[in-house]
Amino acid sequence: MTEFDLTSATLREMNSSLQDATSGTYSIVNPRGAHAIACGLKSEIGVTIAGSTGYYCAGMNQLARVHVKGSVGPGAAENMMSGKLIVEGDASQYCGATAHGGTLVVKGNASSRCGISMKGVDIVVHGNIGHMSAFMAQSGNLLVCGDAGDALGDSLYEARLFVKGAVKSLGADCIEKEMRAEHLEIVADLLERGEVTGAKPEDFKRYGSARQLYNFNIDNVGAY
Amino acid sequence: MCGIVGLYLKDEALKPQLGRLLSDMLVTMSDRGPDSAGIAIYSDAPEGRAKITVQSDEADSAFGVLEHALNGRAHITRRDSHAVLEVTADDVALVRAEIEANHPAVRIMSSGETVEIYKEVGLPADVVDRFEVREMSGSHGVGHTRMATESAVTTLGAHPFSTDEDQCLVHNGSLSNHNRLRQKLRQEGVKFETENDTEVGAAYFANKMRKGASLDEALEAGITDLDGFYTFVCGTKGGFAVVRDPIACKPAVLAETDQYVAFGSEYRALVNLPGIEDARVWEPEPATVYSWGA
């Protein structure tokens, strides 16, 4: 285990060492809310961050497994391609934004715009999510064990949303859909990968696109 | 982008450290606002006395002339381009009128029983040093680092904006309906010194409260009437309040322990506070007013 102490190492030195690493485990101490910690990693390494981070933690991640023993600021795992980010605390706005793959697990709450424009990532939130989550989400799965805020899944494409608690309101073109056997399987897998205990696949409702915004409706021509 | 910080002390023992703690928080937010900085710091004036904070670009000459004109009515403590005039509570209106009528080079930053406002153009670390903020004590304070978007980089364009006696406002964001709102408030007799959007927000809240609204009610009314992006921290004689717009793009973090309530645009601003590791830390909800001691 190699340790980086951010009270002495610079952020650039640390990120560049992690980006060059091809194996092993690393520990980052005294993150003190710094931005862009563990960004752009591209190998199967393990990184543990002892504390809370600022903006863009584990952004653009490929293959690496990053574990934050605290909370993360805005844009965690933004544009993640693969690998895993686990957040023990809360995540600020737009976590998992535009992420193409991998798994994002938030053990606390995630605030607004969680999974905005997600493109294939799997996101598991143990707590609640804020307003405008999964806005224009294109593919992947968002599983929420708590409640969802206003306008969930507004202008949604083909991402699947699973919520156990209450949904304050659904966004334009987002509707509740039937949970079929294949969805129960997906949820069971997400619960396991997301380290969720105390919830069953049957507890969740599925939401998805009504697919009414995909094509231009001539009746709306007057609006333009 | 801008940076905001706020610190409300519950533990009296921390009062002598207020300036130092707030300075650390403010300087950490330099990346968010390197062009100007300001603080409002709250500490009690002696019984029956009040404080008027003034600023002048020609402080060397203007403060001397003012002191002479006030003829012993004010006890003046100068800090760089600013000075605090300590006067009897009964003399506040008279002294303000004298400054406004006869001292065009002197601007009133704030007045009240507890508030002092210091703000200037420059890096936050330099502004903190110029006013010796680290040495200041008090019960609570708010600070702002500015990256200007809506109006010029000037002393008067820096935050905090004083809203009324012992009140102030700092803002991260931009208001889009400030021109029309300024016009409306002018028709009601409210005076403005700048073209700045936050000054309109400050004047709007002050105007609501003059008509009888509580601080919480004024901020709640603002959620309907103010259009644009904002995280506001509003300082009052007793404490401060926080509110974010319904979209809540502008970041905000709150932390509370038995000793204090702290606000920062980012968690980074809070990491030097005592006991932060065990504080309750959370992100304020959109369109929701939070207040302490206010």
Quick one: B239 and B223 in the same domain?
yes
Interface of A with B in 122-151 (CB under 8 A): 130-131
Question: Which amino acid, one-letter code, is at B244?
Answer: R
Residue A115 forms part of a structural domain:
yes
Q: Do the Cβ atoms of B286 and A92 come within 8 Å?
A: no
Interface probe for A, chosen from B268, B273, B276, B280 (most Cβ of A below 10 Å), is B268
In this structure, what CATH number is given to the domain that contains residue B61? 3.30.70.980
Quick one: B122 and B88 in the same domain?
no
Quick one: B199 and B255 in the same domain?
yes
The reported pLDDT for the residue numbered B150 is 75
Residue in A33, A112, A131 nearest the CB of B268: A33
Which of B78, B113, B148 is where one domain is finished?
B113
Number of domains forming the structure of chain B: 2
pLDDT at B149 over 90: no
In this structure, what CATH number is given to the domain that contains residue A50? 2.160.20.60
Which of B57, B87, B113 is where one domain is finished?
B113
Number of domains forming the structure of chain A: 1
Q: Which of the 8 DSSP states describes residue B285?
A: P
Quick one: B159 and B195 in the same domain?
yes
The reported pLDDT for the residue numbered B65 is 96
Quick one: B97 and B125 in the same domain?
no
pLDDT digits (tens, 9 = 90+) for A18-47: 999 999 999 999 999 999 999 999 999 999
pLDDT at A219 over 90: no
Quick one: B96 and B128 in the same domain?
no
Residue A223's pLDDT band, with cuts at 50, 70 and 90, is confident
Instruction: Confirm whether B2 is a catalytic residue.
Output: yes
Residue A29 forms part of a structural domain:
yes
Closest residue, chain B, to A33 (C-alpha)? B268
Residue A16 forms part of a structural domain:
yes
The minimum CA-CA distance between B202 and chain A, rounded to whole Å, is 27
Is residue B171 within 8 A of residue B159, CB to CB? The reply is yes
- Mean of per-residue pLDDT scores for chain B: 95
Quick one: B52 and B144 in the same domain?
no
Residue B39's pLDDT band, with cuts at 50, 70 and 90, is very high
Q: Position of tokens 């009690």?
A: B44
Chain B residue numbers touching A154 (CB-CB < 8 A): none
Residue A50's pLDDT band, with cuts at 50, 70 and 90, is very high
Is residue A209 within 8 A of residue A135, CB to CB? The reply is no
Mean pLDDT lowest among B20-34, B46-60, B148-162, B250-264 = B148-162
The reported pLDDT for the residue numbered B76 is 95
* Residues contacting residue A28 through CB under 8 Å, at least 6 positions apart: A3, A4, A6, A14, A37, A38, A47, A48, A49, A50
Quick one: B89 and B226 in the same domain?
no
**C-alpha distances out from residue A103 to A47, A115, A123, B112, B122, Å:** 15, 11, 6, 54, 44
CA A204 to chain centre: 18
**For A199, left (φ over 0), alpha (ψ -120 to 50), or beta?**
beta
Residue B193's pLDDT band, with cuts at 50, 70 and 90, is confident
Which whole number is the average pLDDT over B48-58? Answer: 96
Question: What number is the ipTM of this complex?
Answer: 0.93
Is residue A49 within 8 A of residue A57, CB to CB? The reply is yes
Q: Do the Cβ atoms of B266 and A73 come within 8 Å?
A: yes
pLDDT at B23 over 80: yes
Which whole number is the average pLDDT over A185-196? Answer: 98
pLDDT at A180 over 90: yes
Helix intervals (H) in chain B: 18-28, 59-70, 92-102, 124-130, 178-187, 197-210, 215-225
**Residue numbers of the domain that contains B59:** 45-113
Residue A224's pLDDT band, with cuts at 50, 70 and 90, is confident
pLDDT digits (tens, 9 = 90+) for A122-142: 999 999 999 999 999 999 999
Residue A203 forms part of a structural domain:
no
The minimum CA-CA distance between B276 and chain A, rounded to whole Å, is 11
Which of B94, B113, B132 is where one domain is finished?
B113
In this structure, what CATH number is given to the domain that contains residue B26? 3.60.20.10
Q: Do the Cβ atoms of A33 and B248 come within 8 Å?
A: no
Q: Is A74 an interface residue toward B (CB < 8 Å)?
A: yes
Quick one: B252 and B140 in the same domain?
yes
Quick one: B154 and B249 in the same domain?
yes
Quick one: B128 and B229 in the same domain?
yes
Residue A208 forms part of a structural domain:
no
Q: Do the Cβ atoms of A54 and B249 come within 8 Å?
A: no
The reported pLDDT for the residue numbered A218 is 85
Q: Do the Cβ atoms of A52 and B282 come within 8 Å?
A: no
Polymer length in residues for chain B: 294
Chain A residue numbers touching B267 (CB-CB < 8 A): 33, 52, 54, 71, 73
**Residue numbers of the domain that contains A142:** 2-196
Residue B294's pLDDT band, with cuts at 50, 70 and 90, is confident
pLDDT digits (tens, 9 = 90+) for B216-245: 999 999 999 999 999 999 999 999 999 999
Residue B96's pLDDT band, with cuts at 50, 70 and 90, is very high
pLDDT digits (tens, 9 = 90+) for B73-89: 999 999 999 999 999 99
Quick one: B35 and B54 in the same domain?
no
